[in-house]
Amino acid sequence: MACLRFPRTGGNDYNETAERRTAEASHPHSPDSSGLREVREVLSMSLRVVVVGGGAAGFFGAITCAETGRDIEVTILEKGPQFLQKVRISGGGRCNVTHACFDGREMTTRYPRGEKALIAPFTHFQASDTVAWFEKRGVKLKTESDGRMFPITDSSQTIIDCLLRAAESAGIKMVLNRGVDAIERADAAFVLRLSDGEKLRCDRLLLATGGCRSASAGQLAVSLGHTLEPPVPSLFSFNSGTAWRDLAGISVEQVELSVPGARLRESGAILITHRGLSGPVILRLSAWGARPLHTVNYNFSVQINWLPHLDTSAIEKELRARLKNQPSRFVVNSPMSPLPARLWEKIVVEAGIARETRWAALSRNAQHNLVQQLTRTELPIDGKSLNKDEFVTCGGVRLSEVNFKTMESRICPGLYFAGELLDIDGITGGFNFQAAWTTGWLAGQAMAGP
């Protein structure tokens, strides 16, 4: 399998280059057919570092390690056909690099799992450092109204190209289509058995293989003595088998959502879909409730306050004003701002008010029911929907088994972790990438140490 070498000029599609080199390597007379043999020969001359996983955390760790200036040979092994695949698809193809929260302690409050563990790491590398890192390499970021930060190009390819150029410049060897099936300790070193049966030896090893979508995904860590917190999905949408699906496409910028009987409450934008409910408020609630919602097999009820900026008395006052000022108008045709007309009509009907009811005929009991529906609409949830490529997992390597000053294993010296393989996950908005940059940077610094 070919060791990826980038052209010095022309072309930005590095993954295509990798695929071409891989195809060339399959020919016995290919000039690149030496592949990993060349990597092993070079690694024998200096400190040998291998990074398993060619995603955001893996690249950041590898680049940080290689850029220290020490005599270190760094290799990235990616089992798939492309590097940085999750970077490519994140943020709808724009890559939500980080979040404009430049207080490290405040930043940690966005992590349902990992808040305490990230306090110290964010004192060393946080969002402002991420912004500076990319700007130093020619990539400027912009901040949107909700705090999310994207490259000014609005293209994830900008981030991919930046990371690949930095890796090339640092002399990192990058290998595609090469997974790791097993790892053994050999004295103070590691011996990796690769997916084609070959073996590769290294002095220090970084596991950055991404979220554990299943327990088997973390078996390399388990084989070296680590414990996995059971993986369950996070950042998912809610399925609902109710008639509200006929409002698919309607969104409201600010609602308050809660789960009765559970300590789960979030505010933010909501989107009604053909399957149920989605949007930032749903994703955040799913992150904080990942384990309890999994426990009930995603069958529960949610309550929605469609007008969280108004208390009950203010809503009642508005309804009385409408009785007085527009008595002849139909209630279903008089939406309260900022609710869309179709949503208002649905809420009125769900409150038991007939479509032909005029404001003058709205009884006190009907007013009460309408207030209840506006502030506590209850919808049954009967499942979840995942973006199979982009979703985040709750679970991973147990945090107490990792030294968060260096990201080194407390169990297996020379072994490091970064990114979603750890039991760390954030809410939506760039927080998961920031955890990847931070843990990758710390691991890279430590691996380059004495």
**pLDDT tens across 270-292, in order?**
999 999 999 999 999 999 999 99
Model confidence at 212, in pLDDT bands (50, 70, 90)? confident
Same domain for 242 and 150, yes or no, is: no
Which residues, in sequence order, are CB contacts of 349 under 8 Å at separation 6+? 332, 355
Same domain for 218 and 187, yes or no, is: yes
Distances (CA, A) of 358 to 262, 323, 329, 355: 38, 9, 5, 8
**Residue that terminates a domain, selected from 385, 401, 425:** 385
Same domain for 148 and 288, yes or no, is: no
pLDDT at position 7, please? 30
Answer yes or no: pTM beyond 0.75: yes
Contact 395, 228 (CB under 8 A): yes
Same domain for 343 and 420, yes or no, is: no
Please give the tally of structural domains in the chain: 2
Distances (CA, A) of 254 to 205, 244, 245, 305, 309: 45, 18, 19, 9, 8
Contact 15, 177 (CB under 8 A): no
pLDDT at position 186, please? 87
Residue of 210, 168, 184, 194 whose CA lies nearest to 11: 168
Q: How long, in residues, is the chain? A: 450
Residue of 421, 434, 415, 433 whose CA lies nearest to 50: 415
Average pLDDT over the chain, rounded to an integer: 89
Same domain for 262 and 361, yes or no, is: yes
**Residue that terminates a domain, selected from 385, 410, 439:** 385
Q: pLDDT (tens digit, 9 = 90+) per residue, 342-364?
A: 999 999 999 999 999 999 999 99
Say how far apart CA 251 and CA 381 lie, in whole Å.
Answer: 18
Its domain, for residue 293, covers: 237-385
422, amino acid identity:
L
